[in-house]
A and B are shown apart, each in its own frame.
Chain A
Amino acid sequence: MSTSTLSLPRNRDGWRAPVALAGVLAALFVLPVVIDDAFVYHIFITICIFAGLSTAWNIVGGYAGQLSLGHAAFYGIGAYVGMMLVNAGVTPWLGMFAGGGVAAVVAVAISYPCFRLHGPFFALASIAFLEVFRVLALHFSGVTGGATGMMVPLETGWMWMIFQDRLPSLIIAFGLMLLTLLVAWGLRQHRWGFYLVATRERESAARSAGIGTVKMRLLAVAISAALTAMLGTFHAMYLTFIEPGSVFSLTFSIQIAMFALIGGIGTVFGPLVGTILLVPVTELARGWLGAEAVGLHGFVYGSVLVIAVLFMPDGLMSVLSRFFGAGPAARDDDGAGATTSAPSRTQAQRAPIGDVVLQAEHLDKHFGGLHVTNDVSLTLRKGEVLGVIGPNGAGKTTVFNMLSGFLKPDSGRVSIRGADGHFHSPASPGDFARLQLGRTFQIVQPFAAMTVEENIMVGAFHRHPAVADARRSAREIAHRMGLARYLDDEARGLPIGGLKRLEIARVMAMEPRVLLLDEVMAGINRADLQEAIELVRAIRDSGVSIIAIEHVMQAIMSLSDRVIVINSGEVIAEGAPEDVVRQEAVIEAYLGKESVDAAAQ
């Protein structure tokens, strides 16, 4: 996703955006009341409903990045549950919660098996579910009325959400829209919102930060489906008639998603903006042109969608935020002192190496016929730096993946000492994270669309569940890592050196006791290298135990207390760095047999 996740610009001139938002929301309510025309009322009620639907969709489609084109299923569930209950004499004020509950349960049940599917395939699965719902609604006509549809009973008043006047309907639609916006905004501010976006951007990095990625997606889908269904219940009362074809409609689903896309997918208020812009255009077109030119408004719709994605793929919000925010202002707290003190050496003396904190016993792993790791055992003591070297393809990263729960060994065991002093054998990356094991990835895994600050916060939540605390902690770490001036920049814009630092910063924010570093020195320039070595040393001195995969010999030699050498999946040497690099087997593994012979002569 290429959208800024900033809901509103945070800089000092940012007062304009909230004021504009308040103005727009007020206008949505006041304008129709002032104009007092039935058609105008209808347009504004429709805007409120669609803005709500689109905002609710955005929780799944935008925040979580699961492109659902079947959201009409939840809308339909809300509409039908509400309608059936109304006909059974139950007020829609209760019916909408019943519908919301049913929709949330259904959403979780159908999303759980689909959560592995990406992009177009999730979209296809959601379309298939929608079709199944439509066909079932048509088939079980005893319950749903089938193709003839269902009508509301002829009763009016607040109790039934059905009115002669338009104003009460507007009040309810407006209220539901505000509720949805509030939930969407609150979710984005909450830790969960960060987790959702992080999961969307980089699933493996999110898991290594201890995020239950499946649980988060299911949460998002449940909230989104419940809100969609509640709006569906009201919409059914407003329309007074529903039938499967119009309710469980693919076109309807696409429309909801399209408003969010054009407004700005993944932003809090983008769906609102998109709806406000598009609904009046289409409703007016339908009114004026509909009679003589069937299809014209649909044609315009489709063309606008194509043109919008071609020329404004990030949506209107990115255009608007440029106007309101004028870009992130220079941060006043980016003092020179903070930056230069970045990787400063801690004055405290290094603590002596302590007891074993991490133990891997006899790890075996096959990929098909390939024996990737063969009986690898290693131990790590508290405060120690263990270097792991070996030629490319030796299986070093596979060992890391087993040490952090991303791969399960075919046989063997990884145990880690918890804060309670006992050894545990965690199973998933999340469990490892909870035992305060942090890892970096060889290929950096930034949450590209999040700012540097937000990236680090994702790690910081691990120790500081409250957003404000996490933010403070993230800033502090950013200063220490020399990332302070990038805090408000999106991670995608960082140079490679910055991304490497960010990778470490995110892990450090988790305050790990055990740190796995996968080639953090690779590809950084000579000047930064010394700085990076100092940084790792400072981390070690703060009591963190480190295992580092590294090819940069200078770093290995100066940092490691012990080195193990892995070749073809086996540990071929272990010991003090200066001893290990003199061993014949090691030279042979790196340079080939001839080199050993040459050295011997």
Chain B
Amino acid sequence: MEIVLQITANGLMLGGLYAMISVGLTLIFGITRVINFAHGEFLMVGMYIVYLVTTQLGVHPYASVLLAVPALFVMGALTQKLVIERLRNSDEHVQIFATVGLSIALINLALLIFGADIANTPSSGLRHSVGVGTVGVLTGQLVIFFSSIVLVVVLHLLLTRTRPGRAIRATAQNRAAARLMGINVSRVYVLTFGLGAACVGVAATLVAPLYPASPTIGTYFVLIAFVVVVMGGLGSITGAFIAALVIGLVDAFAGYYLGSDLKEVAVFGIFLLVLIFRPSGLFGARRNLSHVSP
């Protein structure tokens, strides 16, 4: 029983982490309909920024959020402006390869600058265990979990209660109609991409003290993020949050009962089942089915 509780706790913490990383991806997809294969590399860049700020300036890792978030926002906005925007009328495969190319370039750029070794951000006490009874989690994990809830709520409010948020949602629902209503669609896209990347900046700040940065760190997380985003229903932020918790739990339990080497089979197996049988996601309404033929 204690073990089950501990695994559940681990799973939820992991879920919070996955949610943190996935909300940006689902936001970008939901609005611009572009799947950003370089999303994981955004996270990687963010983690290196946190690493550099923390080690060079000697500040608490969380302080680097002040640099990581704006930097990632600019990076996302530039990606949309310089690459995706120009490919808007191209075929899907062209867009996919553009972000895949960006991903390869960023991984190798990091390899070129930092080498293949891992870069440990000082943990500043965030790896201390806290808990009730025998069940314990790391302080940093707890922060991630609650931050992910805050992030989801803030994004939700931003999209529903503010003017730019409404413009973003209007554009997502109907590009042409939004343009007729005087919305600058291409600016909305740039803003959305920036916002999605900025979420990754937050994630990177919180993740870096717990996970060492490496050029390929993004690759693992991005695959999980895709799983979460598809499962939660494309573009649905709350859906992604719930899906992240589910995947976190699956990950933790499969890791314990199947062995850590097979847990990915469970995660990707579930992903494939969802793609095949519930392509609209577990919680999504039957919209956003543009990826399935009638």
Which A positions have Cβ atoms within 8 angstroms of B?
1-2, 61, 65, 67, 69, 113-114, 116-121, 123-125, 127-129, 131-132, 135-136, 138-139, 203-204, 250-251, 254, 257-258, 261, 265, 293-299, 301-306, 308-310, 313
A-B contact pairs, 19 of them (CB 8 A): A1-B91, A117-B275, A117-B291, A118-B290, A125-B275, A127-B226, A128-B227, A135-B261, A139-B261, A203-B293, A258-B100, A261-B93, A294-B116, A296-B112, A301-B104, A302-B106, A305-B105, A309-B101, A313-B94
B69 to chain A, nearest CB (A): 25
B26 to chain A, nearest CB (A): 13
The reply on B55 being an interface residue by CB < 8 A is no
Which B255-294 residues have C-beta < 8 A from chain A?
A: 259, 261-262, 264-265, 268-269, 271-272, 275-276, 279, 290-294
Known A117-B292, A299-B108; contact A2-B98, beta-carbon cutoff 8 A: no
Which stretch of B82-90, B158-166, B186-194, B235-243 is in the interface? B82-90
A111 to chain B, nearest CB (A): 11
Q: Which residues of B contact A313 (CB under 8 A)?
A: 87, 90-91, 94
Known A119-B92, A120-B96, A136-B265; contact A127-B108, beta-carbon cutoff 8 A: no
A257 to chain B, nearest CB (A): 8
Which B115-141 residues have C-beta < 8 A from chain A?
A: 115-116
Closest to B92 in A: A119
In the bound complex, what is the Cα–Cα distance between A304 and B111 (angstroms)?
Answer: 17
B278 to chain A, nearest CB (A): 12
The reply on B232 being an interface residue by CB < 8 A is no
Contact, CB under 8 Å: B293 / A118: yes
Known A118-B92, A119-B96; contact A302-B262, beta-carbon cutoff 8 A: no
B83 to chain A, nearest CB (A): 6
Which of B108, B268, B276, B293 is A302 in contact with, Cβ under 8 Å? Answer: B108
A289 to chain B, nearest CB (A): 10
In the bound complex, what is the Cα–Cα distance between A304 and B279 (angstroms)?
Answer: 33
The reply on B178 being an interface residue by CB < 8 A is no
Contact, CB under 8 Å: B101 / A116: no
Q: Which residues of A contact B262 (CB under 8 A)?
A: 135, 139
Contact, CB under 8 Å: A113 / B276: yes
The reply on B103 being an interface residue by CB < 8 A is yes
Contact, CB under 8 Å: B279 / A305: no
Contact, CB under 8 Å: B279 / A131: no
The reply on B196 being an interface residue by CB < 8 A is no
Interface centre among B83, B108, B110, B111 (most CB of A within 10 A): B108
* B contact face: mostly helix, strand, loop, or mixed: helix
In the bound complex, what is the Cα–Cα distance between A293 and B92 (angstroms)?
Answer: 33
The reply on B107 being an interface residue by CB < 8 A is yes
In the bound complex, what is the Cα–Cα distance between A553 and B271 (angstroms)?
Answer: 53
Q: Which residues of A contact B95 (CB under 8 A)?
A: 120
In the bound complex, what is the Cα–Cα distance between A240 and B16 (angstroms)?
Answer: 44
Which of B91, B94, B109 is A299 in contact with, Cβ under 8 Å? Answer: B109
Q: Which 3 A-B pairs have the closest CB atoms?
A: A302-B105, A295-B111, A305-B101
Contact, CB under 8 Å: B87 / A305: no
In the bound complex, what is the Cα–Cα distance between A254 and B93 (angstroms)?
Answer: 12
Q: Which residues of B contact A298 (CB under 8 A)?
A: 104-105, 107-108, 111
Closest to A297 in B: B108
The reply on B52 being an interface residue by CB < 8 A is no
Contact, CB under 8 Å: A121 / B230: yes
Q: Which residues of B contact A139 (CB under 8 A)?
A: 259, 261-262, 265
Interface centre among B87, B93, B268, B272 (most CB of A within 10 A): B93
The reply on B6 being an interface residue by CB < 8 A is no
Closest to A307 in B: B101
The reply on B223 being an interface residue by CB < 8 A is yes
B106 to chain A, nearest CB (A): 7
Q: Which residues of A contact B259 (CB under 8 A)?
A: 139
The reply on B102 being an interface residue by CB < 8 A is yes
Known A295-B109, A302-B106, A305-B104; contact A67-B90, beta-carbon cutoff 8 A: no
Q: Which residues of B contact A116 (CB under 8 A)?
A: 279, 292-293
Which of B115, B227, B276, B291 is A294 in contact with, Cβ under 8 Å? Answer: B115
Known A295-B111, A302-B101; contact A135-B291, beta-carbon cutoff 8 A: no
In the bound complex, what is the Cα–Cα distance between A92 and B51 (angstroms)?
Answer: 49
Q: Which residues of B contact A125 (CB under 8 A)?
A: 272, 275-276
